[in-house]
Structures are given as structure tokens and as C-alpha cells.
Structure 1
Amino acid sequence: MPRWTPQEQECIATLKNRLKEQLEASPQFPEIVGERKMIRFLRGHNFDIDKVSNLMANFFKWRMDNKVDEIRTNIVERGMDHPLKFPKGELILSLIPQLILVPHAQDKLGCPICVEQYNFTPSEVFKYITIDDYILFVLYSLEFKSLIVEALSEQREEAFLNSLTKTERTELETNPNSKPYGVIVNICVVRDLNGVGFAHLSAQGQEIIKAVIAVASDNYPELMRKCFMINAPFLFNAAWYVIKGFLSPRTLAKVSLMGGNYMNELLQDIDKSQLPAMVGGDFTGFTTYEPYQFDRSYFVPDGWISVDVSTCIAEADASSAKDKTCSTNTTSIEPNNNIITNERV
């Protein structure tokens, strides 16, 4: 009973062989060293095995250099299980309203929804936080999303296997033409561009966009299934002409750019009951604090001893942390600049 297609199985075997040292040296986190992560890299880069091998090798190095596993530990094991608990999370979300991810608000294909809004002035935001503060928040958000889509993928895969009768399982195991049962959950993104102005397209604004795109595309491929960019002002057309130059044809095909009359198209993919109220839907479940309950038996491998970063968490949230040091909130997150990629998410 195949989990993946023959092409995917062959590529996974090649990656496991080529990246044997890196895979063994990395903590055995399923969303980092598991087959789904390999599939995301492969699908995101058109199964170019040489390119994916290099990208994944640099992905492991990037995580080590930037202590990203400590960030993951904060989320899964140290209570930072909701965006409001990320370093400066409450402040950033008050300045830049967004919905990082709602597991139980999903589009019609079962993809959880996230919402980004741009009704803010960058110069005002950066009176209260630094660019590094924001990039770190974005990285926490990407790790959070990566963990949740892995959890949903595993749950749905297990649910399918458990639903099979003995006869059905035998048939699938003996039929070489059986449809692969592996599940890869993606995210549906709604970007509300109302409020985008010249300030967002300034040199500082472009610096932030480039930094976020680099970190996301090099290290978190194929998170996104679809991106709806709504309320796009005329001014955004010029910016979009520049931004889409960073995007691969695969990613561009996922983007729908719309003005103010977006609702009918949006509702083709998302039921109004599932669409967050902040973009005109009826879903309001995100207004209450609901930490995500990660399954430790799945996400914390046997023998894993987590780093004690409780002091770092306290420092990350302390308003007086200006002169303190902590690897999880002072590390400068660098993209994999030595790798040229075409896939942007």
C-alpha cells in the first residue's frame, strides 16, 4: 500500500541516501526530517533532486546556525503554543493585526486559514519594535504553521488508515495501482491589502518583504495551497510587478489578485461560516485564546532532551530586555543567501 507515488518514493530514497549525515545529526522531529518535509521540498522545486538536496542541506545548517530548534521547543514544550505568547507577540499583533493560523477554520479542501492585514504604517510600527523583532515573530509563526499542518496531515492519514476494513486494507496492499494514502495539508492565505500605501513600498518595507520571502521560501516550501490578495489598491500594481519577479510560476499560479469585489470568488473556495470575520466572513472563533495542544508522543521523539530555555522566554517577553541576551530572541535570522531558488511562498 503506497504512501507516495513511485516518483516520490524514488526521490525520497535518494534524499535519505544523500543527506544521511544531516538527517542523523538533526533532532528527529517529524516535520523536519520526515518524508512529508521531503515531499514539500520536492513538489516545491519540480522534483529537481540535485537542487532539493542542496536546499535541504542548507536548511539543516540554517536551523542549526540560527537555533531554530530552540524556537520549536518553545512552541511545543515551553508553553509558547499561541501567537500571543511568541516574543513580543501581543505587541506585534496589536500593531499588525493578523490571524496566524486557525486549525478549525478551513477552506473547502480542508486547508486551515490564515489572514494578513496591512492597515498600518510601517514607520509607526517600528517605533515600538525593531525589524529583527518582527522577523523573529515571523519565524515563530512559520514554525507554528509548519507544526500544525504536520499535525493535521498525520491525523488525517491515521484516520484514513484506521477507517479501512481488513478486506479494504488487503486490497490496497496487493493492488499495485492503489492510490497513495499519504496526506500533505497546506494553508489557505487571505491577504487584505486595504491600507497598503507608499510607506509599505519604501526601502525599509522592501527590506522586510525580501527578508520574510527568503526565510519562508528557502526553509518552508509548499506551506501554501492558495493565496487570495483582496482589496488591492491601484498603487499595489506597481509593487506586485516587482514582487512577482521573486516568485516561481508554481507559486504565481496559486495567487489570485482582487480588488474590493472579492467575496464571490472567495466563497468559491471558503464557506462563509469558515471565513474569518476580519475579512467579511462569519467565523469568530479566533477571538478567544485557544493554545494549540501538540501531541507530545508524536512531536517529542524518544530520548529527546529539550534545552531549558525558560529564562530566554521570560527575557523575550520582558519590556526591559534591551540589554539582555538570549539566543532565542537576539539571534539574527539569516536567509540561505548562498542558494539561488525560484520557489517563493
Structure 2
Amino acid sequence: MGAVSQEAIWELKALMDRGFLYFALWAVDELLKRTFENVHQGYLTETLVRFLKAREGNVAKAHKMLLDCLNWRIQNEIDNILAKPIIPTDLYRSVRDSQLIGLSGYSREGLPVFAVGLGLSTFDKASVHYYVQSHIQINEYRDRVILPAASKKHGRPITTCLKILDMTGLKFSALNQIKLLTLISTVDDLNYPEKTNTYYIANAPYIFSACWKVVKPLLQERTRRKVKVLSGSGRQELLEIMDEASLPHFIKREGSGSGSSRFSGQGNENCFSLDHPFHWDLYNYMKEQSLIREPVAPVKQGSFHVSVPDPRPEGTEIAKTIESEFQKIENSNGLSQSINGMKINGGD
């Protein structure tokens, strides 16, 4: 949908105000207010607009979505998740080496640029709970630290980011990751709606292009408009919206033939690496928060379990479609290889 009407924003705000007044009678409003403050970070209107957009401007549905989000945060102690670092550090490093994401810089408009190595992420070094915990922690750090700092620097609300998804290395084995990626996507769709301004798809192989043709019609129009498939690495297109310094390492190395190796480049250049300043700042921030909340008791090892809401029907349909399309391509390749094999054997 386009711009949200002012009337819808006022109506949603009125519903939230009445809700807080009602909950005050039951002495439970403090938790709701605190978690709501962590959601909007002082940018109330922009937050209401995000939830309205996510529900196509329907005030009642946006109100329910927002309340569901707040209750999810309370039930899962999301406000405390930045005080729950994944320890020991070696375990966290394993998570970072297999769940490739990082902050590469900022656009010229001041939006944070997050790079995601979707093609080479393996998600095979820890349990699902650690990956979900890590993803939510990055979301919360983005929303509570990165975006407020960017807003202060530029003197205006900056409440969204850009994402560059690197598809280098995408293989049929990605089928094993669909369930986890669906969980993460569900968390974002229901609790962090409209936080990404644009998704840039870089280094897309044939397997992605084939799936995209099938999946694209299943997406809502507002989502389709956000996705831009770049030509190759898209270096020149990306330089139109950000400086060279903010390009992810796998874009900077265009033409080097090194692809998007999770281990290539220096730590301070590879935004996926735990040695990158963004990840060290995040990890140190979490350790500091853990000491503030639990100054005496040591932080215990163990993942922070978060309940994930059931995916929306369209999300399940998209996941099944991707899986089906991957299978078709794999079967087609298998048949092609068998035919080529017969030709080779017949010629001997």
C-alpha cells in the first residue's frame, strides 16, 4: 500500500492509549509500556505506520498485531535478550561463521546497510535456538542502538535499514535451511515489520532466478516493490546509494574471482566475521548489559529459547513453493547428468 492516512495513525494511537489505560487498572501496564518504548525508541508515529503498513492500513488488524508483538516480547523476555550473550566466545564465533550477517556501513541517506551471506550460510554449528537468539539480538541492537544513533547523527528519524543478500554459493543443500529461515522470517514479519527499506539481491545464480520467478507472484505488492535483483554483484548500482567504504566485502572484491568466502579478507573488512568492529561492539555491549543486570551471578552458558509464532499461511506457501522448485531443478539436473553420462558411455 502507499502512504498511511493520518486518520489511521490517530485511530491506532487512540486504541493503544485506551489499552494502556485499561491495563493500568490491572497493574500490568508497566511491562507493556516498557516493552513498547523499546519498540518505538521515541519514534511513535513511525512505529504505528510500520504496523499499519504491515496490515494494509487496517487499524483493527494493526492494533492486534502490535499487541501480539508486545505480549510476545514480554512472554519471551525480549527486553532482556541483549543481556544474554552467547557464551563461550568460541561458540559465538561458530555461530557467526555459519550465520553470515553484518553491518557493512551506511547509505548516503544514513540508513544502516546490513549484508547477509545467504548462499554460504550453513547454520550447522549450533542448535536452532542459538541462531534464532543471535538473529533477534542483532534486530534489537539495530533498533535500540544503531538506528537511534543514526537518527541522532542526522537529526531526523531513521527507523529502517537496507539489506544486501549475497546469493553466492546457493545450492540445493539450502533446502535443509528453509525451516530455520522460515522461523526467522516469521519472527521478523510478526514482530519487526517494515524494518527493511529495500532488499538488494547480489550474485544471484540460476537456481535463485528460477525460484524467484515462481515465488514473486506469491508476495504482496509492497514486498515485491522492496526486492531489487542486481545484475551480478550490482557494484555500480549500489554505488549510486552508498560510498565505496560501505560496500560489503564481497561487492568490493568484484572481479577477483574469490566470491563471498566467509573466511576471506581481513577481519575488519569482512563484516560477517566476529573480528569486524560491528560484531565486537555488539558482543561487548551484551556482556556489559549482562553485568549490569546480573553483577554478581556469572552468565550461564545455554541458548535463550524464544517461542516462534506460527507462520502466516502465505509464508508457509512460499516455503513449500521454494522447496518444490528446488526439487524440480535438482531432478532436472540429475536427469541431464544421466543423459550426458549415457552419451559419454555410448561414445566409448
Maintained 8 Å contact 1:115/1:191? yes
CA distance in 2, matches of 1:106, 1:188: 9
- Counterparts of residues 2-81 of structure 1 (less than 5 Å): 6-7=6-7, 9-20=9-20, 21=23, 24-26=30-32, 28-29=34-35, 30-32=37-39, 34=42, 35=44, 36-74=46-84, 80=85
| Partner of residue 294 from structure 2, selected from 279, 283, 308 | 308
Partner amino acid, structure 2, of 1:217: D
**Secondary structure in structure 1 of the residue aligned to 2:132:** helix
Q: Give the gaps of 5 or more residues in structure 2.
A: 255-267, 319-348
SS in 2 for 1:315: coil
Residues 28, 87 of structure 1: CA spacing in aligned structure 2 closer, same or farther, 3 A cutoff? Answer: farther
CA distance in 2, matches of 1:187, 1:84: 28
Task: Write the distance in 1 (CA, Å) between the matches of 2:15 and 2:117.
Answer: 38
Residues 137 and 267 from structure 1, CA distance in 2 versus in 1: closer, same or farther, beyond 3 angstroms?
A: same
Q: Is the 8 A contact 1:11 1:47 kept in 2?
A: no
The structural deviation recorded for 1:116 is 0.7
Q: Which has the higher helix share?
A: 2
Alignment match, 2:162: 188
Identity %: 17
Instruction: Supply the AA of the counterpart residue of 2:73.
Output: R
Matched length? 280
Distance 1:215 1:56 in 2: 13
- Paired residue for 1:97? 100
2:13 touches 2:48 (CA, 8 Å); kept in 1? no
Say if 2:157 is the partner of 1:151. Answer: no
Q: Provide TM-score, normalisation by structure 2.
A: 0.67
Mapping 1:1-345, distance limit 5 Å: 6-7=6-7, 9-20=9-20, 21=23, 24-26=30-32, 28-29=34-35, 30-32=37-39, 34=42, 35=44, 36-74=46-84, 80=85, 88-99=91-102, 101-102=103-104, 105-120=105-120, 122=122, 125-126=123-124, 128-152=125-149, 154-156=151-153, 160=155, 183-200=157-174, 202=175, 204-241=176-213, 243-244=215-216, 247-260=219-232, 262-280=234-252, 284=269, 286=271, 288-289=276-277, 290-291=280-281, 308=294, 313-316=299-302, 329-335=303-309, 337=311
Conserved? CA contact 1:86–1:140, under 8 Å: no
Quick one: structure 1 residues 121 and 112, their matched pair in 2 at CA, closer, same or farther if it must change by over 3 Å?
Answer: closer
Kept in 2, the 8 Å contact 1:70–1:309? The answer is no
Which SS does the other structure have where 1:228 is aligned?
A: strand
After superposition, what is the alpha-carbon deviation per residue over 1:78-136, rounded to whole angstroms, capped at 9, x for unaligned?
A: xx5xx99989431111223331x35xx211221011101134373xx42x312222122
Note closer, same or farther for the CA distance 1:51–1:205 as it changes in structure 2 (3 Å cut).
Answer: same
C-alpha RMSD of matched pairs (Å):
3.7
**Segment drifting more, 18-27 vs 259-268:** 18-27
Q: TM-score, normalised by structure 1?
A: 0.68
Specify which structure has the bigger relative contact order, considering alpha-carbon pairs within 8 angstroms and separated by 6 or more residues. Answer: 1
User: Does the residue aligned with 2:239 lie in a helix, a strand or coil?
Assistant: helix
**What amino acid does structure 2 have at the position aligned with 1:28?**
R
- Report the alpha carbon displacement of residue 205 of structure 1 after superposing the two structures with TM: 1.8
Call closer, same or farther: CA 1:87–1:57 in 2, change over 3 Å. farther
The residue type paired with residue 71 of structure 1 is I
CA change 1:242–1:86 in 2 (3 A) is: farther
Deviations 1:120-156 (CA, angstroms, capped at 9, x unpaired):
373xx42x31222212211212212222354136515
Deviation for aligned residue 1:12: 4.6
Q: Distance in 1 between matches of 2:172 and 2:247?
A: 29
Q: Which has the larger radius of gyration?
A: 2
